[in-house]
Structure 1
Amino acid sequence: MQPTVENQKIPVSIEKDERLIIGHMKQFFSNKLALAGTILVAFFVLLAIFAPFIAPYGLNEQIMANRLQPPSGEHWFGTDDFGRDIFSRVVYGARISLWVGFLSVLGSMIVGTLLGVIAGYFGKWIDIIISRIFDIMLAFPSILLAIAVVAILRPSLENALLAIAIINIPTFGRLVRSKVLSVKEEEYVLAARSVGMKHSRILLLHIFPNSLSPIIVQATLAIGTAIIEAAALGFLGLGAKAPAPEWGKMLADARSFLVQAPWTLIFPGIAIMLTVLGFNLMGDGLRDTLDPKMKDTR
């Protein structure tokens, strides 16, 4: 008895896959901007991991006699209005910002991808309902929608993370849906359907793997956006609460000292800018590597 297509194993050349991966890596790291972005992201990730060993002072160590001291050899980024070392707080703040960025994007990516795959593959009324939900969510400015979600749930860092995840779901959903609509018309998918392969296997073996590249690129770019959104919510008092060293909260606390002690505002702002820049440069590099057509249209 001849094995069906569903039960056959498609031979895969491991050597060919390795060459493809190595080729992508060489192309990615040959892009100087992408390399610079990767270095920035790696720097802040290492900063977050080794914060207790890098920070010269405790997270909330207060020395009121040293309040609002300018940058010096003792306090590299100066001190705030409570005499806390700003460099130490910026270093610890990397943990909060990256944690919010990674987890919120992971949540929105999982939910958005699932909904996008279902809408694009099955179509009909399922697609109409999911697409209209996405349209309604995208009709609101993202930060206003996030504020509404946090206001309903109660201001906190965890609820800010949840709000950021929710507002980014339509971005992933629409991206994946458009990719699935294209992939499902490919000959190998039509052949799998014609021999009776189950929908679940088609989605797992054919649709999802061939829709992965834009998801990776969008996730990288979305982390930078999530960090900005978390900082915005923290600045508005809807995110992390004192004394957490969240960068947006640090900016909000420093507003009163913009003229008297501008360093309290400058260094957290630079940390946000460099982190977001790193993820954006890395995302652009991944886009050029994984989807060369995008390079031609830019």
Structure 2
Amino acid sequence: MAELARNTQPITTQVKQDEVISPWKEAWKSFKKNKLALVGTFIVLLFIVIAIFAPLIAPYGIDKQVLGDRLQAPSSDHWLGTDDFGRDIFSRIVYGARISLWVGFFAVLASSIIGSLLGIIAGYYGRWVDTIISRTFDIMLAFPSILLAIAIVAILGPSLQNALIAIAIINIPNFGRLIRSRVLSVKEEEYITAAKAIGMKDSRILLHHILPNSMTPIIVQGSLAIATAIIEAAALGFLGMGAQPPNPEWGKMLADSKNYLIQAPWTMIFPGLAIMLTVLGFNLMGDGLRDALDPRMKN
């Protein structure tokens, strides 16, 4: 009987459970394995630090003119040389990082918010609401983005603020169509159907269920869109429709130095390198975020 009692006693076993890892921690772990993404992140952080501490880094003022030093080659006094007004190019590039990053971040922030809201509304409600919003996006995308930006700035007037508004407007359809397609698939999930069945309001469903589950493409598209916005801001500046003198915007610096390409090539090379490195950094970081956050990119 004692042996039978021992055999009938519950046998306790220690089951080792796998550690539950949140999707964001898993994405960060995957992101850290991408060497190019880390390089891009380092470049982006470097330019952000330069923009924040520009007054401490720049050895000269952005508009300090010494006509006797005009078009000097790079030297110990002027690391990247001087322009046609004798201004230090390194100092102007450092301060120009503030303008380019400011336009890139805030233009994309505005376009992502407006585009995401319109995309969510179009995808969730459908019917005539979706038709109106989607056809508006199609019309905007029918124009080359830079031409549409030029038209908007021509109407509003050339300035850095109006260039930011134009860049934000032309990027709205990209976010709107992306989020609309995401919402069309998310709203068919069972938890959305259950939320509707218990009488949850549409506003709460959109803000608490659909929007959080649509953040991944917004983050990826946003990081890549900043690079595009910086190029578009430089293009508007090059055409004289963006930042106005004496603001040291990189595109405007290229336009001012185009007549000295042979005589003083450094006046164009270094602002161009600043644009290239910044855009490269955001593109590499955006590609890394896409690989880390998109399930279709994982094995």
1: CA distance between counterparts of 2:96 and 2:268? 14
Q: Find 2:222's aligned residue among 188, 205, 219.
A: 219
Counterpart in the other structure of 1:25: 28
Runs of 4+ in 1 over 3 A off after TM superposition: none
Counterpart position of 1:7: none
Superposed CA RMSD in Å reads 1.2
Match of 1:103 in 2: 106
Q: Mapping of 1:123-142 within 5 angstroms?
A: 123-142=126-145
Counterpart in the other structure of 1:249: 252
In the TM superposition, residue 195 of structure 1 has moved relative to its aligned partner by 1.7
Q: 2:73 corresponds to which letter in structure 1?
A: P
2:146 matched residue in structure 1: 143
The aligned residue for residue 120 of structure 1 is 123
Alignment gaps of 5+ in structure 2: 1-18
Aligned-pair CA distance for 1:267: 0.2
The answer as to 2:286 corresponding to 1:262 is no
1:288 corresponds in structure 2 to: 291
Q: Which amino acid aligns with 1:104?
A: A
Q: What secondary structure is seen at the aligned counterpart in 2 of 1:254?
A: helix
Query: Is 1:90–2:98 an aligned residue pair?
Result: no
Q: What is the aligned partner in structure 2 of residue 193 from structure 1? A: 196
Deviation at 1:191, TM superposition (A): 1.2
In structure 1, C-alpha distance between the alignment counterparts of 2:26 and 2:298, rounded to whole Å: 17
Instruction: Give how far 1:16 is off.
Output: 4.8
Aligned counterpart, 1:276:
279
Gaps of 5+ in 1: 1-14
One-letter code aligned to 1:58:
G
The whole-number CA distance in structure 1 between the counterparts of 2:35 and 2:215 is 24
Q: Secondary structure at the match of 2:115?
A: helix
Distance in structure 1 (CA, Å) of the matches to 2:159 and 2:170: 17
Partners of 2:298 and 2:56 in 1: CA distance: 41
- 1:37 maps to 2:40: yes
Larger-gyration structure (1/2): 2
- Structure 2 letter corresponding to 1:122: Y
Aligned-residue offset at 1:72: 0.9
- Which of 166, 182, 187 is 1:184 aligned to? 187
- Map 1:222-237 to 2 at 5 A: 222-237=225-240
Look up the SS of the partner of 2:224 in the other structure. helix
Q: Does 1:209 align with 2:212?
A: yes
User: What's the CA shift for 1:295?
Assistant: 5.5
- What TM-score do you get using the length of structure 2 for normalisation? 0.92
**Residues 19-60 of structure 1: per-residue CA shift (max 9 Å, x gap):** 443322121111001100000000000000000000111111
After superposition, what is the alpha-carbon deviation per residue over 1:181-200, rounded to whole angstroms, capped at 9, x for unaligned? 00000111111112211111
SS in 2 for 1:82: coil
The number of residue pairs the alignment matches comes to: 281
TM-score normalised by structure 1 residue count? 0.92
